[in-house]
Every structure is written in C-alpha cells, then in structure tokens.
Chains A and B, each alone.
Chain A
Amino acid sequence: MLNVHSIESLGTFDGPGIRLVFFLQGCNFKCLYCANPDTIAFEGGNPYATEDLVAMARRQQPFFGKKGGITVSGGEPLIQAKGLIELFKALKEAGFHTCIDTNGSLLNDDVKELLDYTDLVLLDIKQAQEERHRKLTGRSNARTLAFADYLAQRGKATWIRYVLVPGYSDAEEDLHALGQRLKDMHNVEKLEIQPYHKLGVHKYASLGWEYALSDVPANTAEALLKAKALFQAYVPEVVIN
C-alpha cells in the first residue's frame, strides 16, 4: 500500500523516455521553492494497492517505447520505502524500467533493499554548501551527500538534479562545490539543471502558506548556459530541463 498524492501518465522530465509517475504524499524537507508544496504534508493523499499500481503500469506499457518506465517522485518517496520495495519488486518482475526521484535524506535498510530493484536514481541535490543548503531547506545536506557517496560506492546509475535558484544556488562557488563532489562519481551519468520557476506558487496561497521567494526572478538564459558550461567540466552530460 502506498499513499499517493497524484499520478501523471505522461512524464517526460522524470527519467528516460515516457514515464508513468507516481507522486507520493509527504516530505521531510520544506524547500523554499518547492513547486509541489501540496505533497509535503503527511496527511492527505490516496491509498493505492501495489497490484493497482502495477496494473496501471501494464496498461501504460505500450507507450513506454524502448526507454520509458515508472518513476516514483513526491514528496519524498523514500519515506515509503517499505511499500516501494513491494511495488518495485513486482515492476521488475514484469520487466519495467524503474526510477526514483529523491532528496536523498534517508538511507536505511529498506532504502538499500529498494535500490536493488531500482534502475536509476534521480538525486536532487539542493545545495552542495552546507550553510546555504540550510538556508534553502532548513536542513543540513550531510545526509544527501552521504547518499550520493553510497550510490557511487554501489555504482548505481544516477542523474543529479539541481534547481538553479537565483541568489540561493546559482553562485559560481555553489556550482563548483557541487562539481567537485561529483567529478569522481562514475555512476553519475547526467546532471539536469532545473530552471527556477514559480508555477507552483498559487498552491502556497491555497495552503495558506507564505511563499518566501516571491522576489526571486526567473533565471536568465545566460545564467543557465553559464551554469551548464561550468558543470560540463565535472560531469559527462549536462542538460537544462
């Protein structure tokens, strides 16, 4: 059983090819720019049985082509690692490509077992510099970085996702710090720069929350390209999503 916030049948930015994306309810972070703030609370969501989710994947299989598959995102999916083990086991048995989009803050035995059934990890690193990470998320980045090390040690295929927030994570030092962390990780296939946007802002109002980054402008095209060029020195493939 998994607690699901919503389902997107046409995911094109959540792993290779066309993805069926399960957004799970609940997150242990509260990032200032979170575009899905309605997935943060642990209350809410709808319970789904593993069989139903697998059946959904089977129905959608014809759309997956050669590359596509299933991605779990959130919220923070690893909070429900136990339920995910059951789901991913079944999906792997049925021959699907599986992928997890995580903030990397949880690493327990369940998570380790889950990774056995996971083909690709999308690891969201919010900030490589501890102080600035705290400012952005209210938390330390130590666990996320340890998670990255663990993935590297296991040789688990990983794409790094990095939201370029003007003033919060787009300084040159920020980018170099992250590049330094990644440069020797051979499991990292790709780095995706995610432009900062405010498309989720209306959700804050309906949650009665304040949006702290109202004054932050969107990235300029130059800034995005500059960040891309900078990362290319460290990671084999860099894309702007």
Chain B
Amino acid sequence: MFKSGNWQNAIDVRDFVLKNVTPYDGEGEFLCDASARTKHLWQLCLTAISEERANNGVLGIDNEVVSGITSHGPGYIDQEHELIVGLQTDQLLKRAMKPYGGIAVVEKACQEHGLEVSDRVKDIFNNYAKTHNDGVFDVYTPEIRLFRSLGILTGLPDNYARGRIIGDYRRVALYGTDRLIEAKKLDMLGLIGPMTDERIRLREEVAEQIKALGQLRELGAIYGLDLSRPAQSAQEAVQWVYLSYLAAVKEQDGAAMSLGNVSSFLDIYMEHDLQLGLIDENYAQELIDQFVMKLRMVRHLRMDAYNEIFAGDPTWVTEAIGGRLADGRHKVTKTSFRFLQTLYNLGPSPEPNMTILWSNSLPEGFKKFCAQVSIDTSSIQYENDDLMQCTRNSDDYGIACCVSFQEIGKQIQFFGARTNLAKTLLLAINGGRCEMTGKQVLHNIPELKSDLLDLEEVMSNFRLAMKEVGRVYNDAMNIIHYMHDKYYYEKLQMALVDTNPKVNLAYGAAGLSIVADSLSAIKHAKVQVVRNEAGISTDFKIEGDFPCYGNDDDRVDVFAKEIPAYFNKLLKELPTYKNAEPTLSILTITSNVVYGKKTGATPDGRAQGVAFAPGANPMHGRDKSGALASLSSVAKIDYKDSLDGISNTFSIVPKTLGADMEQRKENLVSIMDGYFSKDAHHLNVNVLNREMLEDAMEHPENYPQLTIRVSGYAVNFVRLTRAQQQDVIARSFFETI
C-alpha cells in the first residue's frame, strides 16, 4: 500500500518518509474545527485540570503501585468518545511513582501532597533495590558536592530521571513490535566477544530492550490492541505511536521526554486513508486533536523544589514540525497544519512543545500560518533547519527537551543541566572563593593585583576558573550517566533506537550575557571592586560608559561569541563515559531566577540576587536599539560552539509587530527569515500584552490556558511562582518608542 524502499528490508523510518511523504504547499483553509466528541473530552480534561490546580497542582497520586509499562490497568477519559486511548495510570491526571530515580524524592513529593508512600514500596527501595540517586551519591566526590551546594552546578539529573532521549515511536506503527524484537535479537547475535565491560553492558542493554518491547505489546493488549503487527490505518498509526510514547512516560519520568518528529510520518497514513475515502478531514483532525489532548495530560510526580529549576510542571513533549528533506523538498504536510490547529481547537497550551523547523525555503502559506499561530497563542517555538541540517548532517531529527538537535533513532543525548558562568567569573575575581559564602572552591586562582579590574588579568584567571569548573562538571556528568544507565536505564526508548547509537553529552552554561557585559565594562569603562573585610567582592563601582550585549555592537558581542567557544573547547578535551561527544547549550529554562539568587553582584553593575537573563538573551533593559538589534547580537554566537542549542526568547506586544493581523504576520515572517538567515539557532516567540500578564497574576482562574514561552519551552503562566511571573513581566517586552 506504500511506495517500496529500503524501509522494507531494514528498520529505516526515514526512508519510508522520504519515499511516501506528500509535501503540502498550500494554506490552512482546509482545516476543521474540533468535533463534538473532541470538545466533550476536552471539557472533561479542563475540569480535571482546574481540580488539579485547586488541589495544589496535583489531582491524585497512586502511592501503592510502582509505575512501569504494564503496571496499571486501562484508563479512559470517557471511553466511548475516545478515538485514541491510553493514560499513564487508571485515572486521568493521577500521577504514578517512579522511584528508580531516587526514593527520597518520591517520598517527599508524596508528603508534600499529604500522602505516604506505601510501606511495601518504601521497604523495597530503602532496603533492597538501589536507585540512580543512591548510585550517584555513593560515588560523588567532595568537590562535586561543594559545586552543587554552592550553585556552581545546578539542576543536575542526579535525583530525577535525565530524560532527553527520544525513542523513534514511529517504528512501532511502521513495523509492529514483533519485527522490532526480531531485529534486536539479530543485533544481539552479532554482539559477540571478547566480553569487555562495554560489550557485556551492551548485551545486557539489548536484552532489557527486548523485554521492554514485549511489555509494550502487553500494554497494547491491556487496551485490546495488537501492537505486534504494523498499523494498518491512520487511526492505528496514531494509536500505535501514542501507546509507544505512553509506555515511555510510564517507565520514565525524564525531565524532558520529546515525541520526535511524528507529524510528517503520520501524514502518510492520513493521506492514504483520505485518498481511499476511508476517512474525511474532520476525522483526520479528530485523530490529531485527541492525540494531542492525551499528550497534554501527561504528568510526572515531582517535588516542589523541582519547580524552581523547571517551572510550571513541564513534560516537554517536544514535537518537531516542518523542515526540509536532504533532497531539497520540504516536509511540511497537511498534518503539520493539523498539529498547529490543535492550538485553536483545544486552545493554547505549553504541551506538546511544538517546534517549527524553519527554513527560508518553506512554503509561504505555512510560514504565515505559523506566524499567525504565534501571534494568537504564543505557544510555539522556532529552530533553524537550514543551519542544523548542514551542521549535523541529518534531515530526520527531533528536538530533545527545549532546543537540542537529536537524530531520531540514530543518536541519543545525555542531559547535563548547566553551570553558572557568571559565578565562575566571580571565582576568577575572588581568588577562587565563592562570593556568597567565602568558601574556597578553586585552589589555583591567583589573587588580583589590583582592584581596578584589568581585562588581561581577569581573563587569565577566568580561563583558569573555566577549566577547573569544566573538569568538575565533566566528572559529575560521567558519574551521573554511568549510574543512570545502571539503575534507571531507558529500556523502552532505547529499544526504539538503533543498538549502540552515537551519544552526545549535553553540557550547559548560564549567565552568558552577564559575563559579556562584565568583560565589556572592564574593557571599556573603569570597574573597581568593592570588597568586604574578608576580601570578597560585594559590589563593583563602574565609571564611564560601556557597550552592552544586545545592541548589535561587536565591541561587546565578541565576548558573547568567544566565551562559549572557549568553554566548549575545554569541555571537548575531557574524557567521557560511553565516548559521548560533548556539546554545549546556552540555555537556562526558568532557572535564570534561581541562578540570580545564588550569584553575588557582578562587574556589569548587576546587583546581588538579580535574576539572570534567560538562555542567550541580553539582560533586560540593556538592549537599547530595539528587538532586531538584540536578535542580531544573539545570532553572532556560533552554533558550532554550542551544538546543544542557543536559546533566545523574544517577547513583543502585538501592536509593535504592526497595525493589523496581515502586517503582523508578514513582519513576523520577515523577522524569522532575517534572524535565521544570520545563522541564529532558536527563537521563542511571545506575542502578549503586559496588562494581560499582570491581570493573570491577580486572577489566575481567568487564564487557565495562558501560555508563554520561556527559554526553550512553553509554560502555563498561572503555574509559575510569583517571583518567576514577575521576572517574566519585568523582562524586556519590546515596545517601540
């Protein structure tokens, strides 16, 4: 029924897409509204969501059963109306325990909601089973612990699941579990001796994967579906993909668990059924609406503290939409439009985290539709497909977490949160001591000769400090991923990835704009350190003007470009677990607020405790030449030095984009074309009114679905803490004079 190709001989979904996809050049006029069934189901979801909010953010917790692929019986929203079935537990929004990341976290999360983990589970995980968290802390060095506690390294996935790995969920629809098991068994036969550590580990991993595929088949059976065979209709294709994803989020509670790039794949089945008259457009939209509805209902059990780094209870079900094929055709399909249409049919939402793979050669109709969706919902983000394709050599990739390239089914990624570069700069100024506590952190940093800062001297110390921080960071990452593989291996996701894939090690850095502005101040103005009796910097006196990052001014932008390049180079020199390739991101998620709290005054004039700018954004209020100059500054950071992604958030009031919708769409398309043709990597687009956000702070109940984008992902504004809300509002809304 489909065009033949290598996909029939080997597990090769890309080939199937290449041979069968129908690129669509038109506009969105064919799209349908939500059906009555969909509306009915969504209403039930909205009610559950509002109960959840009223109940301190958690509707229910299963404190008896440890979550796994087949741990729970079937769950429904309202079975007779559901075209796509499957919930994580037997009840909508009820959260499940996944203690393999760490039992203490699960106990805490339960207690925060007035529950105790059942005695049986407590007994097992405290007395018999070992967790990822146990493993990591058995091995952590005193140095790593110190870096963690002082906030030089934060958000490390050492007490929660690392996530980021994307299973190729399309494989289950295309091949069925039987064929996938067969292929893995064949791989296993090839994994012969000598039985080195690596080889033994890999054999064990593949064995786990095979078991997981068997369990996935069982999960199908729980819902009366036969996943052992390929999907045979559009409805089955969507259902098979969803159940595979569901199996992953039943087994794991990774910080970010992306969906991949399923829309152009699913479109092939849609087109097929539509051509044969088996379904109509209304039904096709219903399938996608109901699929997306289910993705919006994914929940993980988290402690409140987790919210500080990853605000708003995100799950990062990131779906990459659009982009081009290596043969020059684009991958925009009608189902790309259908995914975006869910933001109208079900209203705006942070999840799934829809990411447009933007190429200047995408069809105009699609570009304008995306712009319109951004203006209406602020729920989508954009990444540079031209840049990623030519740098990473693949046209079949998804976005892991917020902004990171990941070739689907061929590569995976080890997530590593981030380090604080602004604080690292302060270590360089304080002889290696922490500016907040006075503790000696680094031992090889000379005291500065003069308190009137000299760029050469500061840079020389800063380089030493970056090297030391990089070394400790690398140690922590190797330990974390070794232990995660050992105690909390992602067996289902890895079953949907080639055996022994390429691994990227995803480091991250925060505080880049502060570092750039600080170095600019030191170079172009006079900066004098103010120290306390212990000799620790408490403030900086600045005399004279200096250019700030965000004004398209090379005198300072050069620092924003060179620092990540240098740090990345340092990281690349260090040995990695599983020979992973180091990559760096300039990304903060919402942790820019926490970072600010943990960082003393900096030489750019930022006071102690003030929030960082998110991701690679310039500090707010310092970009004085308007939004595009700010974008141009960020575009100068070289993607090759930060292959894990360079996140930029662009917030603008609708009026500033133009007088009417037509102009706004046109201008937003021009902005994106311009930004990405400058080889920029990522852009979050918020089109919002300040008044609306202020009102939403006071009356959250009126804005249950208000979505805003923050550094690589979208969140429900009303689920942010008050400090985070204030930070978002204070940050530059670009309003022209």
Complex-state Cα separation, A119 to B518, whole angstroms: 42
Chain A residues lying within 8 Å of B657, measured Cβ to Cβ, are 12
Complex-state Cα separation, A17 to B736, whole angstroms: 15
Complex-state Cα separation, A6 to B671, whole angstroms: 21
Chain A residues lying within 8 Å of B669, measured Cβ to Cβ, are 65
Pairwise interchain contact B656-A12, C-beta atoms closer than 8 A? yes
Please count how many residues in chain A sit with their CB below 8 Å of the partner chain's CB atoms: 26
Complex-state Cα separation, A60 to B552, whole angstroms: 9
Q: Is the interface of A mostly helix, strand, loop or mixed?
A: mixed
At the interface, yes or no: A146 with Cβ under 8 Å from chain B?
Answer: no
At the interface, yes or no: B186 with Cβ under 8 Å from chain A?
Answer: no
Please count how many residues in chain B sit with their CB below 8 Å of the partner chain's CB atoms: 29
Which of the residues A10, A13, A17, A65 comes within 8 Å of B627, measured between beta carbons? A10
Closest to B635 in A: A62
Pairwise interchain contact A68-B626, C-beta atoms closer than 8 A? no
Most buried by B among A18, A35, A36, A241: A18
At the interface, yes or no: B640 with Cβ under 8 Å from chain A?
Answer: no
Pairwise interchain contact A63-B675, C-beta atoms closer than 8 A? yes
In the complex where A13-B736, A23-B737, A65-B669 touch, is A59 in contact with B632 (Cβ < 8 A)?
A: yes
Which of the residues A9, A23, A62, A67 comes within 8 Å of B677, measured between beta carbons? A62
Pairwise interchain contact A17-B737, C-beta atoms closer than 8 A? no
Complex-state Cα separation, A17 to B624, whole angstroms: 21
* Interface segment, one of B95-103, B240-248, B295-303, B658-666: B658-666
Pairwise interchain contact B629-A13, C-beta atoms closer than 8 A? no
In the complex where A62-B673, A65-B673 touch, is A11 in contact with B666 (Cβ < 8 A)?
A: no
At the interface, yes or no: A239 with Cβ under 8 Å from chain B?
Answer: yes
Pairwise interchain contact B626-A9, C-beta atoms closer than 8 A? yes
Q: How far is the CB of B4 from chain A (nearest CB, A)?
A: 42
Pairwise interchain contact B736-A64, C-beta atoms closer than 8 A? no
Which of the residues B659, B663, B734 comes within 8 Å of A10, measured between beta carbons? B734
Pairwise interchain contact B628-A7, C-beta atoms closer than 8 A? no
Q: In chain A between 83 and 140, which residues have their CB closer than 8 angstroms to a CB of chain B?
A: none
In the complex where A8-B625, A9-B629 touch, is A56 in contact with B552 (Cβ < 8 A)?
A: yes
A-contact bits for B604-638, CB 8 A (1 contact / 0 none): 00000000000000000000111111111000000
Pairwise interchain contact B737-A9, C-beta atoms closer than 8 A? no
Pairwise interchain contact A6-B737, C-beta atoms closer than 8 A? yes
Q: How far is the CB of A194 from chain B (nearest CB, A)?
A: 11
Complex-state Cα separation, A241 to B658, whole angstroms: 8
Which of the residues A18, A59, A60, A239 comes within 8 Å of B659, measured between beta carbons? A239
In the complex where A7-B626, A59-B552, A60-B628 touch, is A65 in contact with B736 (Cβ < 8 A)?
A: no
Which of the residues A11, A60, A64, A67 comes within 8 Å of B632, measured between beta carbons? A60
Q: How far is the CB of A154 from chain B (nearest CB, A)?
A: 28
Q: How far is the CB of B458 from chain A (nearest CB, A)?
A: 28
At the interface, yes or no: B674 with Cβ under 8 Å from chain A?
Answer: yes
Pairwise interchain contact B670-A63, C-beta atoms closer than 8 A? yes
Chain A residues lying within 8 Å of B658, measured Cβ to Cβ, are 12-13
Which of the residues A6, A13, A56 comes within 8 Å of B624, measured between beta carbons? A6
Pairwise interchain contact A9-B552, C-beta atoms closer than 8 A? yes
At the interface, yes or no: B678 with Cβ under 8 Å from chain A?
Answer: yes
B-contact bits for A9-38, CB 8 A (1 contact / 0 none): 111110001101001000000000001100
Q: How far is the CB of A4 from chain B (nearest CB, A)?
A: 11
In the complex where A10-B736, A240-B659, A241-B659 touch, is A18 in contact with B667 (Cβ < 8 A)?
A: yes
Chain B residues lying within 8 Å of A65, measured Cβ to Cβ, are 666-667, 669-670, 673-674
Which of the residues A7, A18, A239 comes within 8 Å of B670, measured between beta carbons? A18
Which of the residues B628, B660, B666, B670 comes within 8 Å of A9, measured between beta carbons? B628
Q: How far is the CB of A206 from chain B (nearest CB, A)?
A: 14
Q: How far is the CB of B207 from chain A (nearest CB, A)?
A: 52
Q: In chain A between 34 and 75, which residues have their CB closer than 8 angstroms to a CB of chain B?
A: 35-36, 56, 59-60, 62-65, 67-68
Pairwise interchain contact B628-A12, C-beta atoms closer than 8 A? no
Closest to A16 in B: B663
Pairwise interchain contact A36-B737, C-beta atoms closer than 8 A? yes
Pairwise interchain contact A12-B736, C-beta atoms closer than 8 A? yes
In the complex where A62-B678, A65-B670, A65-B673 touch, is A9 in contact with B659 (Cβ < 8 A)?
A: no
Pairwise interchain contact B670-A64, C-beta atoms closer than 8 A? yes
Chain A residues lying within 8 Å of B627, measured Cβ to Cβ, are 9-10
Pairwise interchain contact A7-B677, C-beta atoms closer than 8 A? no
Which of the residues A7, A10, A56, A68 comes within 8 Å of B656, measured between beta carbons? A10
Complex-state Cα separation, A160 to B627, whole angstroms: 27
Pairwise interchain contact B626-A18, C-beta atoms closer than 8 A? no
Complex-state Cα separation, A180 to B552, whole angstroms: 45
Complex-state Cα separation, A8 to B678, whole angstroms: 19
Pairwise interchain contact B673-A13, C-beta atoms closer than 8 A? no
Closest to B626 in A: A9
Pairwise interchain contact B737-A18, C-beta atoms closer than 8 A? no
Complex-state Cα separation, A60 to B630, whole angstroms: 11
Q: 6 A-B contacts, Cβ less than 8 Å apart?
A: A9-B628, A12-B656, A13-B736, A17-B670, A59-B632, A65-B667
Give the top 6 A-B pairs by smallest Cβ distance, nearest first.
Answer: A63-B674, A65-B670, A9-B628, A62-B674, A9-B626, A9-B629
Contacts from B to A (Cβ < 8 Å): 552, 624-632, 656-660, 663, 666-667, 669-671, 673-675, 677-678, 734, 736-737
19 A-B pairs besides A6-B624, A18-B674 with CB distance below 8 A are: A7-B625, A7-B626, A8-B736, A9-B552, A9-B625, A10-B671, A10-B734, A11-B626, A18-B628, A18-B667, A56-B552, A62-B673, A63-B628, A64-B670, A65-B669, A67-B666, A239-B659, A239-B660, A240-B659
